Structures are given as structure tokens and as C-alpha cells.
């Protein structure tokens, strides 16, 4: 009896320890997030009006409803939300700090919600201010500040808090290095995206990057890059994608355009050029000048190399 | 060289990849020569009393980044696209607007969006004070948001405007917003008015059916929900009253407290076999999911496997760990099985590997994935007969760990 009881007590102890461990990780994350906010009197003119609340993957849905699905795809961990009164008029401002799985994921969700028409501002790695909103990202954090004062520009007020939080996030962070591999010609500023899964609707495309382009003659198109762990994996995905395109795109002139690990399709649904170069798949979608895109993209394929190790 | 790598190379030799690398032939040529993927005829159902009929499969657009996927869905016969004002800060509406403009057939489509206005969680009603997530619940704000949505969608009207996430009867019956929605309908900016809800679904459906101004309710409805029987009664009531029902989260969604289905086709069929449901709006992110859902919607008859799944799903067996921890004392390695099951759910059902990895990282190594020897002693202890061994094995494969 005694050894049996002892065993159960030990197991109960281990179970409690595990729960404690999990709870402690959550608590640590909460404390980290709180430490990014100004304490009482640290930021003149700002007063916290409600205690911070926290949501995790378990209950994010209760906070942002259907939008939670996308945040979870981007590796959401925890959000802190706190309300402030700012300035002499006590304007209401909500601060949200989303902790994502990595700096890359933070960039990904930030970029998903950004519009290229919103000029970037130098807060964190990058931010923007639009109407009553100021959002930025730095490290694994995506920070969103929202004012409900709509009758005047709250930009300077929001920027004050944003800079405070950005300074509190320690470490040097830059935009994802993969983005530096994209050509500049015809590029639309602030249109870069990182999509962690199901890129272009393909389950075998994970960790895709893309950028929008506009050319007077050819219209709008996108360039994209997907890094793989090795060239075999890339070739495997390239073959699957080629097969998919040939089924879906009603291609014309494929025979003339097809080369080893390269594919240029001209179709009524838009042109596609794809290449597989080492452990990378890249290409162009859209536009209406297959020859121009093919030339550009094939040149890109010949010169592109994966960057070395990075913080991402 | 590992065995895995060798097998992979041998496979490549005989596969289309090898042929591609050698510049021999293009895979899929035969399929390409046949032109479009096979078209599927989707059944249609009336959207309540509106006089409009729509296919039983629609598209919840917010999670996809692929305009081609939206185009393919429309080509396949889907006509109803569902989004919300706030999804991706409006980028979801903008993406739909571009696709619709390019196609030039706005009048053939049913576009739905939703406006989220502030609410008071203590009273369970709307609030006239702006809150962290949305502006005050006033007619003026509803109009402003609707106008902005129309601009993004590049259209003069939306077919359905929902009051987003109304989870109480009190919210459904909030007169200032009801009146604003009716005014928008009179102004021609909205064809039909609806409420969307995730919680207290039966209560909300009945309230919407009784309120008279609503044409449609968009509800969370799936095999694993505990309120499904009450919801079935409520949607039968809604049908009598002429309220259309749009089902969301049909395959479980990504909400933790909804049990995650493993058979997506059977789950969608289960929802659509309810005649009261006008259409479902699964949030598809891949072409494969689209094809799977199209096939399910085109033929709602259940095969044996689907019947069994639904039977098991109704009993909530085999779907998801309930964290009862009955298995934990039986494990000779003292593995924290419920945490592994949670990680397996994130990896397998949500496809969210980073979250699975993070969940596993919460465990000390000596109680984690590595030490499970797949002895399956735990399965006998599981009151829900969960296939723990299979899930752990999948998880090990995903993270490239040896099975034993």
C-alpha cells in the first residue's frame, strides 16, 4: 500500500510541478510585457486608467474574435492590453503589445496589417501612423496604439508612448534579411510580406516572402521567395508547384518557355514565372509582360544567394 | 547519409521531380491538356426570406493571402465571400475589392462584411464609450465604418452587413444600431442585415429571428460544440421565421475550447446536412482545402468512414484531449501527456508548428516528447479512447525525433 501511495503522491507532485512550470512561463511573459510599459509618473501626462489584461492563445478569440485565427498562424503567444488617459484632455488610448513566436513572426503580422499607402516612421524597427492608430514592431513584439479621439491628429501623442515602449524593448533588430534579396526596380514601398504557412495557397510552401511591384507597361505583379532547408526540399516543392500551375493556369507557350527548374507560363489568368535555385524557390506572379518578367526573374535567379545566419 | 535521405533520393529518381531536374518533361502535362480542374455543381439554398439563393459552400476570406485562391473559388461556383471591417485592418476587404473589380461581375456575387462596435462586457450589451477594440456603438460610427468598407471593397453596396460578434440577445436588440442598419439598407448601401455570433448561439439566433429586421445570422456551428443540440432547435425556429443561417467555424476553427475535428470533410458535411443552414463559410487557405470542401459540399452523402467519424465526434471521442489527466499516473516515464496532446493539436490540426514547439518547450526534458517510448500504456486509461500513441508518434515525426 505504502509504495503505491508514495508513487501516486510523487506523480501528483510531478503533475503540480509541470502545471507550475507552465504557469510560471506565462507569469514571466506577463511580467516582461508589463515591464515595457511606463510605471506611474515615468511618462508625464499619461495615466493608466485600467489594469492591464492578458490574453493567450487559449482565449485570444474572446479578445479579437475571428481575427484570432490569423494571429495564431503568425505564432501568437500573449497580448497585453492596457488603457491610458493621455494629455491635458485625458484622451483615451489603448496600448496592445502582442508577443509573437519570433521577430520574423512579429514582422509578418505587422506587415499583414500595414497598407503601402501609410508612410513608415522610425519607431522600433518600423512603424506607421494612420488616423487614430500607431503601430510598430520590434523584436518579437507587435505594438498597437489606438486613440479614440478622432477630431484631431493624435500622432505626436501616440508617438510619445510608442517611443517609450520601443526603447524599453532591448536588443538590436532589423527587418528580415531575406527582404534585402528583392530587386528594387518598380518595387512598391512597404509592400513586403512574410507568410509563415500556406503561401500562395500551397501547404508545401512555408515561410514565403513577397513584395509588390508596379510597371507602367506591365501593370501590377508580385515577386516572391521561399527558402527551404536544402535543395532537395526546394526541388520537391518546385515540382509540386509546377504541376499545380500547369493544371490551373491554362498555360500557353509553356513548351517554349520551360527550362530546367524554371517555368514561365503565359495565361489568361495572369503570367507566372518560377525558378528553383539551390534551396530557394522564387518567381513572379501577375503582370502582363511575360517576356519582361521572364528576363528579370531569370536574371534574379542567376544572381541570388541565400543570406547567412541571421537573428531570424 | 541517413536512410531517410537515401530513400528520398531513390524516390526522386523515379518521380516527376527527377524528370524535371533532367529537363525531360513537365509534370502535370496531361492534366494541363485537359484544361480546368473538374467543375463541381454546388447545390443552392434560400437565404431565409430574402428571395436570394446561394450555393451551400461559401468562402471566409480573411486568412488567405492568395488572390488566385479567391479567383479559383469563384470559378468553381462559390459566389459568397465573407470578411469583416477589421480583418487585417481592412486589407482583407481591399483584397476582395481588387479581385471583384478585376472580374467585373460584382452583381453576381454576395459580399458580406461585419462591423465591430464597442461593448460592455459587464452588462453584455453595446457601449456608447469607445473601447480598446472599437469605436462607440453609435449610428454615426456604424455608418463611417460601412462607408470605409464600401470604399475598400470598391462597391456601392454590401449584400450582407453583420453586427459583428453579438453574443447576447441584448446586443441583437440594441435599437440605435438596428435603426442605423435599417437606414443603411434604405439608403441602398446594404441589401440584408445580420448578426454574427460565437457564444450563446441559440439565444442569439432566437432573438435575431424575433427581432424582425434581421435577414441572416452567422453562427459558430460544428459537430464538437456542446450547444449543438440547442442550436439545432434554434435554427429550426429561425427557418420558420425566415432567418437565413450562415455557418462558420464548421470544421472547428482554431479556438481552443472547441474540439478540433480530424475529418474536415465529414465535419463540413455534418453542418451542411442541416437543411436550415443556408451556407457555410470555411476559412480556406490552400487550394487543397478548397477542392476538399467543394467535393464535400457537392455530395453530402456520408461514406462509412464519415459516418463513424460523426458518431465518434458526437461522443467527443477521438477528437481532442480533455486534459482530465487520467493517463498521467499510468505513464512509466511520467510524461506530461496532456501537454503533448495540446502540442499535437497545434501541430496537426492547426498546422501551427511554432506554437506546438513553444508548448513543448514549456515541459522539462525529462517529462517531454523525447522520453515517451510509445508503449501506449496510457491509451487504456484514457476515458475518451484518444489515440495518444498515434498522436505522439506524429509529433515525433514532425520534430524529427526518433520514435523510441
Q: How far apart are CA B113 and CA A66, in angstroms?
A: 12
- Among chain A residues, CA nearest to B356: A75
The predicted structure's pLDDT at residue A43 = 92
Taking only residues 131 to 150 of chain A, the set having a beta carbon closer than 8 angstroms to any beta carbon of chain B reads: 133, 146, 148, 150
A30 vs B: CB within 8 A: no
Cβ-Cβ contacts under 8 Å, A256 against chain B:
none
Q: Flag residues of chain A having pLDDT under 70.
A: 1-23, 150-151, 253, 255-258, 307-312
The predicted structure's pLDDT at residue A312 = 43
Which grid coordinates belong to B69?
485562391
The predicted structure's pLDDT at residue B310 = 83
Does the distance separating the beta carbons of B68 and A201 come in below 8 Å? yes
The predicted structure's pLDDT at residue B349 = 65
A143 touches A96 (CB < 8 A): yes
The predicted structure's pLDDT at residue A2 = 47
Cβ-Cβ contacts under 8 Å, B16 against chain A:
239, 243
Q: Is the pLDDT of residue B100 over 50?
A: yes
More confident call, A2 vs B82 = B82
Cα distance from A70 to chain B (closest Cα, Å)? 6
Element (H, E) at A220: strand A219-227
Does the distance separating the beta carbons of B27 and A239 come in below 8 Å? yes
- Give the Cα-Cα-Cα angle A310, B1, B2 (nearest 5 degrees): 90
Q: How far apart are CA A157 and CA A146, in angstroms?
A: 11
| Model pLDDT for residues A92-136, shown as the tens digit of each residue | 899 999 999 999 999 999 999 998 888 899 999 999 998 789 999
| Model pLDDT for residues B225-241, shown as the tens digit of each residue | 778 889 999 999 999 99
- Among chain B residues, CA nearest to A5: B329
Cα distance from A125 to chain B (closest Cα, Å)? 20
A76 touches A60 (CB < 8 A): yes
B127 touches B118 (CB < 8 A): yes
A219 in the Ramachandran plot: left (φ > 0), alpha (ψ -120 to 50) or beta? left
Is B130 exposed, middle or buried, given 0-12, 13-18 or 19+ CB atoms closer than 10 A? buried
CATH of region A177-303: 3.40.1000.20
Cα distance from A307 to chain B (closest Cα, Å)? 22
Please name the residue that has the C-alpha cell 528583392. Answer: A182
Please name the residue that has the C-alpha cell 498555360. Answer: A251
Q: What is the DSSP string of B26-54?
A: -TTHHHHHT-SPPP-PPPEEE-GGGS-EE
A105 vs B: CB within 8 A: yes
| Model pLDDT for residues A214-260, shown as the tens digit of each residue | 999 888 999 999 999 999 999 999 999 999 998 877 777 676 666 77
Does the distance separating the beta carbons of B65 and A199 come in below 8 Å? yes
Q: How far, in whole angstroms, is CA B208 from its chain's centroid? A: 22
Interface mutation target, options A28, A60, A61, A66, chain B, most CBs of B under 10 Å: A66
Selecting from A14, A102, A113 the residue whose C-beta is nearest the C-beta of B88 gives A113
ipTM beyond cut 0.85: no
The predicted structure's pLDDT at residue B96 = 93
Does the distance separating the beta carbons of B17 and A236 come in below 8 Å? yes
Name the percent of chain B lying above pLDDT 70. 81
Does the distance separating the beta carbons of A196 and B354 come in below 8 Å? yes
Helix runs in A99-248, H state only = 103-113, 155-168, 231-248
**What's phi and psi for A135, nearest 5 deg?**
-120, 145
The predicted structure's pLDDT at residue B14 = 35
The predicted structure's pLDDT at residue B23 = 33
The predicted structure's pLDDT at residue B93 = 93
Average pLDDT over all residues of chain B: 82
Name the percent of chain B lying above pLDDT 90. 47
In CATH terms, is domain B44-312 a member of 3.20.20.100? yes
Cβ-Cβ contacts under 8 Å, B23 against chain A:
259-260
Would you call A81 helix, strand, or coil by DSSP? Answer: strand
| First-residue to last-residue Cα distance in chain A | 54
pLDDT confidence tier of residue B50, bands split at 50, 70 and 90? very high
Mean pLDDT, residues B255-265: 54
Cα distance from A267 to chain B (closest Cα, Å)? 12
The predicted structure's pLDDT at residue A250 = 74
| Model pLDDT for residues B136-155, shown as the tens digit of each residue | 999 999 999 999 999 999 99
A167 touches A153 (CB < 8 A): no
Selecting from A21, A72, A96 the residue whose C-beta is nearest the C-beta of B355 gives A72
Q: How far apart are CA A149 and CA B286, in angstroms?
A: 40
Q: Structural domain boundaries of chain B?
A: 44-312, 328-398
The predicted structure's pLDDT at residue B345 = 74
Cα distance from A243 to chain B (closest Cα, Å)? 5
Q: Is the pLDDT of residue B175 over 90?
A: yes
Cα distance from B151 to chain A (closest Cα, Å)? 14
The predicted structure's pLDDT at residue A15 = 53
**What's phi and psi for A32, nearest 5 deg?**
-60, -45
The predicted structure's pLDDT at residue B1 = 33
A209 vs B: CB within 8 A: no
pLDDT confidence tier of residue B60, bands split at 50, 70 and 90? very high
A246 vs B: CB within 8 A: yes
Q: In chain A, where does the domain assigned CATH 3.40.1000.20 lie? A: 177-303
Amino acid at each position: 500500500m505504502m509504495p503505491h501511495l508514495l508513487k501516486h503522491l510523487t506523480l501528483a507532485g510531478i503533475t503540480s510541478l509541470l502545471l507550475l512550470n507552465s504557469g510560471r512561463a506565462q507569469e514571466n511573459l506577463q511580467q516582461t510585457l508589463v515591464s515595457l510599459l511606463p510605471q506611474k509618473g515615468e511618462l508625464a501626462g499619461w495615466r493608466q486608467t485600467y489594469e492591464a489584461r492578458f490574453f493567450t492563445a487559449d482565449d485570444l478569440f474572446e479578445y479579437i474574435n475571428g481575427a484570432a485565427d490569423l494571429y495564431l498562424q503568425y505564432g501568437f503567444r500573449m497580448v497585453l492590453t492596457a488603457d491610458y488617459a493621455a494629455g491635458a484632455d485625458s484622451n483615451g488610448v489603448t496600448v496592445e503589445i502582442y508577443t509573437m513566436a519570433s521577430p520574423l513572426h512579429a514582422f509578418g503580422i505587422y506587415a499583414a496589417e500595414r497598407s503601402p499607402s501609410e508612410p513608415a516612421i522610425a519607431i522600433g524597427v518600423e512603424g506607421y501612423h494612420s488616423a487614430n492608430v500607431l503601430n510598430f514592431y520590434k523584436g518579437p513584439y507587435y505594438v498597437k496604439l489606438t486613440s479614440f479621439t478622432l477630431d484631431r491628429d493624435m500622432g505626436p501623442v501616440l508617438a510619445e508612448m510608442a517611443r517609450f515602449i520601443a526603447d524599453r524593448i532591448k536588443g538590436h533588430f532589423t527587418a528580415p534579411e531575406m527582404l534585402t534579396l528583392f530587386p528594387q526596380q518598380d518595387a512598391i514601398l512597404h509592400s513586403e510580406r512574410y507568410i509563415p504557412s500556406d503561401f500562395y495557397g500551397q501547404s508545401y510552401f512555408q515561410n514565403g516572402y513577397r513584395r509588390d511591384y508596379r510597371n507602367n507597361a506591365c501593370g501590377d505583379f508580385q515577386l516572391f521567395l521561399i527558402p527551404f532547408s536544402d535543395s532537395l526540399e526546394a526541388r520537391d516543392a518546385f515540382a509540386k508547384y509546377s504541376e499545380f500551375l500547369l493544371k490551373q493556369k491554362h498555360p500557353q507557350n509553356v513548351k517554349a518557355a520551360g527550362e530546367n527548374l524554371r517555368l514561365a507560363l503565359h495565361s489568361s489568368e495572369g503570367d507566372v514565372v518560377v525558378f528553383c535555385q539551390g534551396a530557394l524557390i522564387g518567381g513572379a506572379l501577375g503582370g502582363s509582360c511575360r517576356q519582361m518578367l521572364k528576363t528579370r526573374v531569370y536574371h534574379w535567379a542567376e544572381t541570388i544567394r541565400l543570406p547567412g545566419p541571421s537573428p531570424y | 547519409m541517413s536512410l531517410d535521405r537515401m530513400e528520398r533520393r531513390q524516390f526522386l529518381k523515379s518521380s516527376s521531380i527527377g524528370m524535371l531536374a533532367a529537363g525531360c518533361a513537365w509534370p502535370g502535362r496531361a492534366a494541363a491538356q485537359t484544361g480546368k480542374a473538374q467543375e463541381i455543381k454546388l447545390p443552392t439554398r434560400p437565404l431565409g426570406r430574402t428571395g436570394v439563393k446561394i450555393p451551400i459552400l461559401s468562402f471566409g476570406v480573411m486568412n488567405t493571402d492568395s488572390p488566385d485562391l479567391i479567383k479559383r473559388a469563384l470559378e468553381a461556383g462559390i459566389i459568397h465571400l465573407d470578411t469583416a471591417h477589421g480583418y487585417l485592418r481592412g486589407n482583407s476587404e481591399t483584397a476582395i475589392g481588387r479581385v471583384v473589380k478585376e472580374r467585373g461581375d460584382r452583381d453576381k456575387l454576395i459580399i458580406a462584411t461585419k462591423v465591430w462596435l464597442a461593448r460592455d462586457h459587464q452588462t453584455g450589451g453595446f457601449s456608447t464609450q469607445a473601447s480598446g477594440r472599437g469605436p462607440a456603438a453609435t449610428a454615426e460610427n456604424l455608418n463611417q465604418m460601412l462607408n470605409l468598407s464600401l470604399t475598400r471593397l470598391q462597391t456601392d453596396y454590401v449584400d450582407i452587413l453583420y453586427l459583428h460578434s453579438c453574443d447576447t440577445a441584448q446586443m441583437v436588440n440594441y435599437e440605435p444600431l438596428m435603426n442605423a442598419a435599417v437606414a443603411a439598407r434604405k439608403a441602398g448601401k446594404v441589401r440584408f442585415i445580420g448578426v454574427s455570433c460565437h457564444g450563446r448561439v441559440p439565444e442569439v439566433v432566437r432573438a435575431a429571428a424575433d427581432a424582425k429586421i434581421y435577414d441572416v445570422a452567422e453562427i459558430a456551428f460544428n459537430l464538437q460544440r456542446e450547444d449543438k443540440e440547442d442550436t439545432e432547435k434554434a435554427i429550426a425556429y429561425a427557418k420558420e421565421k425566415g432567418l437565413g443561417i450562415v455557418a462558420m467555424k464548421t470544421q472547428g476553427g482554431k479556438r481552443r475550447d472547441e474540439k478540433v475535428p480530424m475529418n474536415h470533410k465529414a465535419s463540413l458535411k455534418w453542418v451542411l446536412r442541416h437543411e436550415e443552414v443556408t451556407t457555410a463559410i470555411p476559412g480556406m487557405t490552400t487550394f487543397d482545402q478548397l477542392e476538399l470542401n467543394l467535393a464535400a459540399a457537392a455530395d453530402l452523402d456520408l461514406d462509412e468512414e464519415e459516418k463513424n467519424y460523426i458518431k465518434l465526434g458526437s461522443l467527443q471521442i477521438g477528437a481532442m484531449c480533455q486534459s482530465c489527466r487520467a493517463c498521467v499516473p499510468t505513464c512509466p516515464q511520467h510524461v506530461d501527456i496532456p501537454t503533448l496532446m495540446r502540442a499535437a493539436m497545434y501541430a496537426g490540426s492547426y498546422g501551427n508548428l511554432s506554437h506546438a514547439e513553444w508548448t513543448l518547450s514549456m515541459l522539462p526534458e525529462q517529462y517531454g516528447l523525447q522520453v515517451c517510448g510509445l508503449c501506449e500504456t496510457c491509451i487504456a486509461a484514457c476515458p475518451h479512447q484518444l489515440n495518444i500513441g498515434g498522436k505522439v508518434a506524429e509529433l515525433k515525426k514532425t520534430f524529427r525525433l526518433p520514435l523510441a
